[in-house]
């Protein structure tokens, strides 16, 4: 059995930047164990698998089922791998389409062309203050001190630091990050004058010590900073070693965050499986 494989750099402003994701289009689902083994073999933070929605009639907006796997586990949401999957469909498989819809564990997600960029439309992820003293202590150990503010979303812990430089130079204690629970730890601060806010994302408990660029985290980050900065259109930068640029628009009346970025095809190939 041969399966197509695409390797896309999402939120990539230049070659060898952004967050790489593997995308594997399927005609029908393979066993979960096989999907997990493929993701482990790929060795990237995320591998996305898609299957066409059987009831969808040919239309200007194609529709697919979408699942995401880290090398260790299946996850409920992944922004950069969704953007990468949008690239594969809109620029490789269905170049005549202007947008694509995905049925996922996190509801219906969309990717739309926006000039040279692609744009995600995701639900807003609310953030509330962290009230668990054990979590707060673990985050303080992870960061080497208490953050300026600590919150949580349904996915992640959310720590605000005073400056972009403190985010850039952070060397977290990964055991403490994992002990804090949740999917991972978002660390953020106001921008340095070249962007509105910065962030990094750590998820050792999901097999990802640091994620290069995390689209789904911006479903929480963008609304948080939009409220504090008093505007709904924001330029974000993730300060991982690879780095990435994101342009966010918060639409509270729709409960949505639009997240746009550039994508680049790095590799096109085949997976060879027995059978």
Tally of residues, the chain: 275
Specify the 3-state DSSP secondary structure of 118: strand
Distance CA 92, CA 111 (A): 14
- Other CB atoms within 10 Å distance of the CB of residue 99: 18
* Bridge partners, residue 74, by sequence: 69
Q: What is the pLDDT of residues 6-41, one digit of tens each?
A: 999 999 988 899 999 999 999 999 999 999 999 999
Element (H, E) at 167: helix 164-168
> What pLDDT does 53 receive?
93
Question: pTM to 2 decimals?
Answer: 0.88
Q: Using DSSP bridges, classify how beta strands 197-203 and 233-238 pair: parallel, antiparallel or unpaired.
A: parallel
Q: What are the structure tokens assigned to 110, written together?
A: 């969309």
Distance CA 192, CA 36 (A): 39
Residue 216 sits at φ, ψ, to 5 deg, of -65, -30
Specify the 3-state DSSP secondary structure of 112: strand
**Catalytic machinery residues:** 46
**Does the pLDDT of residue 224 top 80, yes or no?**
yes
Summary mean pLDDT of the chain: 95
Ordered domains of the chain (ranges, CATH): 2-121+260-272 (3.10.310.10), 128-254 (3.10.310.10)
Cα angle for residues 259, 223, 161 (degrees, 5° grid): 105
Residue 166 sits at φ, ψ, to 5 deg, of -65, -35
> What pLDDT does 132 receive?
98
**Does the pLDDT of residue 57 top 60, yes or no?**
no
Cα→Cα distances 76→70, 141, 238, Å:
11, 27, 21
């Amino acid at each position: 059995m041969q399966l197509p494989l695409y390797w896309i750099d999402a939120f990539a402003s230049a070659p060898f930047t952004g967050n790489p994701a593997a995308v594997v289009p399927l005609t029908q689902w393979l066993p979960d164990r096989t999907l997990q083994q493929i993701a482990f073999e790929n060795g990237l933070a995320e591998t996305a698998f898609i299957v066409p929605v059987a009831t969808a009639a040919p239309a200007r907006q194609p529709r697919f089922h979408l699942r995401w796997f880290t090398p260790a586990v299946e996850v409920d949401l992944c922004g950069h791998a969704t953007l990468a999957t949008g690239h594969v469909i809109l620029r490789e498989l269905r170049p005549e389409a202007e947008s694509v819809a995905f049925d996922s564990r996190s509801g219906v997600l969309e990717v739309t062309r926006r000039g040279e960029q692609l744009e995600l439309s995701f639900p807003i992820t609310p953030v509330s203050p962290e009230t668990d003293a054990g979590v707060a202590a673990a985050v303080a150990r992870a960061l080497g001190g208490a953050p300026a503010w600590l919150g949580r979303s349904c996915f992640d812990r959310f720590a605000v630091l005073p400056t972009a430089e403190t985010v850039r130079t952070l060397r977290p204690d990964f055991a403490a990050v994992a002990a804090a629970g949740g999917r991972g730890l978002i660390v953020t601060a106001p921008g340095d004058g070249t962007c509105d806010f910065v962030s990094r994302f750590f998820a050792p408990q999901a097999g990802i010590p640091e994620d290069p660029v995390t689209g789904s985290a911006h479903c929480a980050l963008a609304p948080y900073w939009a409220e504090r900065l008093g505007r709904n259109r924001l330029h974000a930068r993730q300060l991982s070693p690879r780095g990435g640029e994101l342009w966010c628009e918060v639409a509270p009346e729709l409960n949505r965050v639009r997240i746009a970025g550039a994508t680049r095809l790095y590799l096109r190939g085949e997976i060879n499986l027995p059978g």
